[in-house]
Amino acid sequence: MKRHTGRVPFQLSVLDQSPISEGSTGADALRNSIDLARHVEALGFERYWIAEHHGTPMLASAAPEILIAAVAAATERIRVGSGGVMLPHYSPLKVAEVFSMLSALHPSRIDLGVGRAPGTDPHTMFALQRDRRQAAPDDFPEQLAELLALLENDLPRDHPFARLAALPGGEERPEVWLLGSSPQSAIWAAELGLPYSFADFINPKGAELARLYRDRFQPSARRDRPWVAAAVSVICAETDEEAQRLAVSARMAIALLHSGRLIPVPPIEKALAFFDEHDVPPTGRRAVVGAPDTVRGGLEEVASDYGADELMLVTITHDHEARKRSYELAAASLR
């Protein structure tokens, strides 16, 4: 979905964390994700990415590759991918094989967004390790290089894995992206000639890093020019007041997350009561919240800040229908 708004043309996509609402289950959240994917495909969104999070009652997206398969099978056109696979948890070969298979089943529709962050707390990260005799090494650059070489059939002849059988998907390959919220990820994406997705909803100070990425970008067979996507928190409703009401559910969950308490997404009335009783300092995160005109202005501002080619909307509400409506209104605001 390409929007021309003033001087800034950008595509619209979705980053889905499969939020679990209080009173529902993880299974409900996963089915809601499939329903939402069908909905935004009909609205013309470009891609639908699944996040990876572990050990939380708030988000059901622990295995994005499984939900990617379900979403891709339930849709026809929209690109589907990971936002992202947290590579430090995995063998590059396993990731390459999984996304090769997904690409074979859904040609020219699969994205592999790769991240360095654990997607969880240190305790859960340690539980995810196969070998727990010591902490896993911080060797993300080597992992990423191996993953790209496997996907591109470009392992050096003297590499110990050079004689591995071809990937199961044959010639079909995912489009690889690098995710990040730090300067180092921007540099790696630029040096490797990869598209770059920045998590503005985590760190709203990424505009300088997007410029760093573009300045250092090295054209490659993967991409001949830089491509910046900014993932931004958005809630849109018919009025500013209703959007702010919807937003309190996620605000409460994130406020408690910062204090070490993990909860499902609470209902609006519970969240309103929480903020009435507690003086909660701002988290510093940016959110675009409001009626369509307000959201349009906010999205244009984010896109301008980043020089973004694409915005990936992250929306969490307690009510699934309100979430679907938010994406509908946000898309309509940019037509």
How far is the first Cα of the chain from the last one, in angstroms, to the nearest whole number?
A: 10
Q: Is residue 155 part of a domain?
A: yes
Task: State which residues form the domain around 137.
Answer: 2-236+286-333
Q: Is 275 part of a structural domain of the chain?
A: no
Q: pLDDT tier at 116 (50, 70, 90 boundaries)? A: confident
What is the pLDDT averaged over residues 124-148?
A: 80
pLDDT, one tens digit per residue, over 214-248 is 999 999 999 999 999 999 999 999 999 999 999 99
Q: pLDDT at position 293, please?
A: 97
Q: Is the pLDDT of residue 8 over 50?
A: no
Q: Is residue 244 part of a domain?
A: no
CATH code for position 294: 3.20.20.30
Of 196, 181, 174, 179, nearest to 68 by C-alpha is: 174
Place of tokens 């809601």: 32
pTM metric for this prediction: 0.92
14 found inside a domain:
yes
pLDDT of 283 strictly over 80: no
Residue 309 included in any domain: yes
Mean pLDDT of 154-163: 81
Residue 265 CA to residue 251 CA, distance in Å, equals 9
> Residue 29: what pLDDT?
98
**Does residue 255 sit within a domain?**
no
Tell me the pLDDT of the chain averaged across its residues. Answer: 92
- Would you say 46 and 310 are in contact if contact means Cβ atoms under 8 Å apart? yes
Instruction: With respect to residue 198, please indicate whether it lies within any of the assigned structural domains.
Output: yes
Domain count, the chain: 1
Residue 115 lies in a domain: yes
Q: Percent of the chain scored above 70 by pLDDT? A: 94
The pLDDT value recorded for residue 5 is 41
Instruction: Grade residue 7 by pLDDT with cuts at 50, 70 and 90.
Output: very low
Note the pLDDT of residue 120: 65
Q: Give the C-alpha separation, 155 to 185, whole Å.
A: 23
